[in-house]
Amino acid sequence: MDGIFLVDKEKGVTSRDVVNQISKKFNIKKVGHTGTLDPLATGVLIIVLGKCTKLVNELTSTYKEYIATMKLGIQTDTGDITGKIINKKQYSGNIEKINKVLKSFEKTYRQTVPIYSAKKVKGKKLYEYARNNEKVELPTQEVTIKNIIPIKFTDDLITFKVTVSKGCYIRSLIEDIAKDLNTFATMVELRRTKQGKFKIEDCLKIADVKKSDLLSVYDILDDYIEINLDQKKYKLIKNGAIIDKFFKEKYAFFKYNNELISIYKEFGNNQAKPFIMYKN
């Protein structure tokens, strides 16, 4: 099986749990996902299978959309409501101030990676440092908040919709927003509603996923052309040769006798190289 399943991850399971369930359900070993969702979070989880595991970087590089709810006045060690409360602070403000602060985060900035994350520092995942009570300097990384839209504000809860770049942690964003509101905050709910072109409406609960729901590489990639090869070019392509890029699109789906042989991707100075090989 080569392709992707669009899963609506449920609360209380890890992204790895979903991968394992798909692997067992369809008896396939080569399975992965394209962006971790915390156990607390729900929503779009793209599961890649077979040769399409090579698409992970293509899919994770796209923008993601979330609906998040934050609770003002408390900070937890994990950055979400499942953690231990480590700070409290009263908050007094109004909807105008909240809207102004939210709008100010439509920008590119360096965000601190949360301690409870799988980001590696010196070969070890950050959450391992946290669990062992070891000190570590938290890294920062550049993220872009494309847009952020307030949805609801009641008492100490703020719900907003946000579209973010690769590498953005919503838990860190919430803590950054709280800082500008002169308080603390923690995440209480998170739902990924879109990743790239794939929307929550396209997703299925894992129990409902069937083999017929598998999307092919044709459904996944954009900006491609199909090219039928003559025998001379077929010999080059099937052996994975780097070629001069004679197509304008980002990807070329090379076929021989109407059978997909290889997908090539642009790289370097007007060249193309194998991306996914189907026949060799």
As beta bridge partners, residue 256 has 259
CATH code linked to domain 3-62+197-218: 3.30.2350.10
Bridge pairing between strands 259-267 and 271-277: antiparallel
Separation of alpha carbons 126 and 134, rounded Å: 10
Along the 280 residues of the chain, how does pLDDT read in single tens digits?
899 999 999 999 999 999 999 999 999 999 999 988 999 999 999 999 999 999 998 998 899 999 999 999 999 999 999 999 999 998 877 889 999 999 999 999 999 999 998 889 999 999 999 899 899 999 999 999 999 999 999 889 999 999 999 999 999 999 999 999 999 999 999 999 999 999 999 999 999 999 999 999 999 999 999 999 999 899 889 889 999 999 999 999 999 998 999 999 998 888 999 999 997 6
Q: What's the CA gap between 237 and 240, in Å, rounded?
A: 5
CATH 2.30.130.10 assigned to domain 223-277? The reply is yes
Question: Is 208 an annotated catalytic residue?
Answer: no
58: tokens are 């293509």
CATH superfamily entry for domain 64-191: Pseudouridine synthase (3.30.2350.10)
What pLDDT sits at residue 85? 97
Catalytic residue among 2, 8, 38, 80: 38
The CA distance from 135 to 34, in Å, is 29
Q: Give the pLDDT confidence score for residue 91 in this predicted structure.
A: 85
Single-letter residue type at 241: A
| Start and end residues for every CATH 3.30.2350.10 domain found in the chain | 3-62+197-218, 64-191
- Residue ranges of the chain assigned to CATH 2.30.130.10: 223-277
